[in-house]
Amino acid sequence: MDSGNTVVVGFDGTAGADSVLRWAARETLLRQDRLVVLRCQRDPAITAYERGISDLTTEFRELRICVETRPTNPGESLVVAAREASLVVVGAPGADSGLGRLISASTALHVAVHATSPVAVVPRTQAPTDSGIVAAVDGSGGADRTLEIAFEEAGRRRLGLRVVRIKETAAAPALDALERDLITVDLRPWCARYPEVAVTPGILHGPAPQALAQASHEAALLVVGARRRAGYLGLRDASMTPKLLQRAGCPILIAR
């Protein structure tokens, strides 16, 4: 792998995995990177897997694709691959029940928490949308990486960006307006750096998992931070992670 120039996607050939694979391919083209497809199943469904790879190479002929097989735990394999990747893509927990869903949920959660690169957790079913990107920040210095990635993704996709903060309880309209003004001030350096990106500040009310999940159903991409910060629960918070990954309506990009 060429460090920093590779998108890695876990693929197991199960239901909905093809849509995750295609999302990773489109993202790789946007980044002009190479795509590494990591075979992530101990007892792989050979026919489904090979069909998925064949369909991918046919649809994305211009894409540089490398297929690798790892005999170890899929979650840990993706975490190791993340050390030399610009992005790791994994499927969100599926809607099916039973052991398969538990394995996909465990893998997605393990990679989301432990990978050192940015991680995209992609729903196995999602409606195509030209809606903008939503980035959740908390106003701390640690939000810089989240904003950097959000602006980069908005610029690549030529989409608008909505930058939001989360308030657990509702506040008076005047206080929300003040909060939006503070966000606008914080965003000035980023707007100067990315003048082509149209940005809107916003406030989400309610518990973080529910507020972000709801916002994700009106977005093409949701960008969140990877650690717990004051005033905002990032994906290091164990109570938030499974709920958000399971309920999201669009891919979640975890900034690192």
- pLDDT given for residue 110 in this prediction: 87
Domains and CATH numbers, the chain: 6-122 (3.40.50.620), 133-255 (3.40.50.12370)
C-beta separation of 227 from 236 below 8 A: yes
Start-to-end Cα distance in the chain: 19
pTM: 0.87
**Among 207, 165, 206, residue whose Cα is nearest residue 186:** 165
Please list, residue by residue across 162-185, b when 16 or more beta carbons sit within 10 angstroms of its beta carbon and e when fewer do.
bbbbbbeeeeeeeebeebbeebee
**Which residue, 181, 151, 176, 157, is CA-closest to 166?**
176
What one-character-per-residue DSSP string does 108-153 give? HHHHHHH-SS-EEEE-SS-------EEEE--SSTTHHHHHHHHHHH
What pLDDT, on a 0 to 100 scale, did the predictor assign at position 50? 78
Q: What is the pLDDT of residue 57?
A: 87
How large is the greatest C-alpha to C-alpha distance in the chain, in angstroms?
A: 59
- Which amino acid belongs to residue 48? A
Which pLDDT does position 45 carry in this prediction? 54
- C-alpha closest to that of 212 among 170, 250, 256: 250
Which residues on neighbouring strands pair with residue 13, listed in sequence order?
A: none
Contact (Cβ atoms closer than 8 angstroms) between residue 54 and residue 19: no
- The per-residue pLDDT for 42 is 53
Rounded to whole angstroms, how far apart are CA atoms 181 and 204?
A: 15
10 Å CB burial of residue 130 (0-12, 13-18, 19+) is exposed
Q: What six digits make up the tokens of 87? A: 């992005």
Tokens 């009106």, located at residue: 218
Tens digit of pLDDT at every position of the chain (256 positions):
555 689 999 887 777 888 999 999 999 999 988 999 988 655 555 677 778 888 888 899 889 999 888 767 888 889 999 999 999 999 887 655 444 444 567 888 889 888 999 999 999 876 666 789 999 987 666 688 999 999 999 999 999 999 999 888 777 778 888 888 888 998 999 999 999 999 999 999 888 888 999 999 999 999 998 764 433 445 545 445 677 888 889 999 999 8
Compute the CA torsion angle 209, 215, 218, 222 (nearest 10 deg). -70
